[in-house]
């Protein structure tokens, strides 16, 4: 394998995009499955795999993840919910890594959210914690550390992750501690994304692209594939899709000499 492909995709638990009524669009998981399948990726990194349920209920086994496993039997996988919380709002949650090569050293790390108060349909709320997951695989005889995250959208709460940098810094600590080839993907929910890029550049990581928007609701670059010096991107593209309110981000990598 001279190159390998990484797909980064916030699948919004299978809720398709509707320009007129996006929040009332139907859930059609098969559209997300077709989107994932179309990219023929070696590594698939997913956010918002499941839909949050009232009271913080988390079905076991996770139904969408179970369907993904059934649809992609040639992949090894790792999934985790964030910490269960009765305050959870009815959006998407849960992270997954799918890999054509076996996974080992799986981990999960809770990313605490600050007590920033916000209004949700007339009710005062505070945000639930977020999550980072990781695993290691071997590609062409070289170990690659895989990290996947979904951070809190502070801009939706009238503030910024610059004012509340805890989650970004916890992810950064994982980057700093990683040895060898490492890929970090996710929906970082940072509207002023250059600040995040600069922060992780100081740790030796670059993003494959920072120009094309990746979210339909606002013109933000929220989704990234970060990589470090042992890896070199040879191609990338942002792919608009009706399968989610996020676009798919695809990158092909080779190992640096």
Convert the pLDDT of each residue in 149-168 to its tens digit: 999 999 999 999 999 999 99
* pLDDT above 70 as % of the chain: 100
Q: Within 10 Å of residue 20's Cβ, how many Cβ atoms?
A: 6
- Measured CA to CA, the distance from residue 197 to residue 216 in angstroms comes to 21
Q: What residues have CB less than 8 Å from 204, skipping those under 6 apart?
A: 175, 228, 229
3-state helix, strand, coil in the chain (%, to 5): 20, 35, 40
> pLDDT value at position 121?
87
- Measured CA to CA, the distance from residue 226 to residue 245 in angstroms comes to 21
- Measured CA to CA, the distance from residue 82 to residue 84 in angstroms comes to 6
Question: Can you name the CATH fold of 4-255?
Answer: Deoxyribonuclease I; Chain A (3.60.10)
The band of 1, judged by pLDDT with boundaries at 50, 70 and 90, is: low
Model pTM greater than 0.95? Answer: yes
The closest of 140, 193, 150, 153 to 171, measured between CA atoms, is 150
- Measured CA to CA, the distance from residue 170 to residue 167 in angstroms comes to 5
Q: What residues have CB less than 8 Å from 225, skipping those under 6 apart?
A: 6, 8, 45, 183, 184, 185, 207, 208, 233, 236, 249, 251
Mean pLDDT computed over every residue of the chain: 97
Q: What is the mean pLDDT of residues 235-239?
A: 98
Beta bridge partners of 114: none
Contact (Cβ atoms closer than 8 angstroms) between residue 70 and residue 31: no
**Concatenated DSSP letters for 199-239?**
HHHTTT-EES-SSS--BSSSS---EEEEE-TTEEEEEEEEE
The model's pLDDT over 17-35, given as tens digits with 9 standing for 90+, comes to 999 999 999 999 999 999 9
Q: What is the mean pLDDT of residues 31-56?
A: 97
Beta bridge partners of 96: 46, 79
Sign of CA dihedral 151, 245, 66, 77: negative
């Amino acid at each position: 394998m001279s190159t390998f492909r990484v797909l980064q995709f916030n699948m919004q638990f299978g809720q398709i995009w509707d320009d007129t009524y996006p929040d009332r669009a139907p859930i059609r998981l098969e559209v997300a499955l077709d989107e994932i399948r179309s990219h023929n990726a070696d590594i698939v990194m997913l956010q918002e795999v499941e839909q949050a349920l009232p009271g913080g209920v988390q079905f076991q086994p996770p139904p969408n993840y179970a369907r993904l496993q059934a649809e992609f039997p040639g992949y090894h996988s790792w999934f985790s919910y964030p910490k269960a919380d009765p305050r959870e709002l009815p959006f998407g949650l849960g992270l997954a890594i799918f890999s054509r090569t076996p996974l080992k050293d799986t981990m999960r790390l809770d990313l605490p959210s600050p007590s920033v108060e916000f209004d949700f349909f007339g009710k005062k709320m505070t945000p639930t914690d977020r999550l980072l997951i990781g695993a290691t695989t071997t590609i062409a005889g070289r170990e690659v550390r895989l990290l996947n995250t979904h951070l809190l959208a502070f801009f939706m709460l009238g503030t910024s992750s610059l004012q509340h940098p805890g989650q970004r810094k916890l992810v950064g600590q994982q980057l700093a501690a990683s040895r060898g080839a490492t890929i970090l993907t996710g929906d970082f929910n940072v509207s002023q994304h250059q600040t995040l890029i600069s922060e992780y550049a100081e740790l030796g990581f670059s993003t494959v692209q920072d120009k094309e928007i990746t979210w339909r609701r606002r013109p933000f670059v929220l989704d990234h594939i970060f990589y470090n010096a042992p890896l070199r991107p040879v191609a990338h593209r942002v792919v608009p899709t009706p399968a989610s309110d996020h676009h798919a981000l695809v990158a092909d990598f080779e190992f640096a000499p």
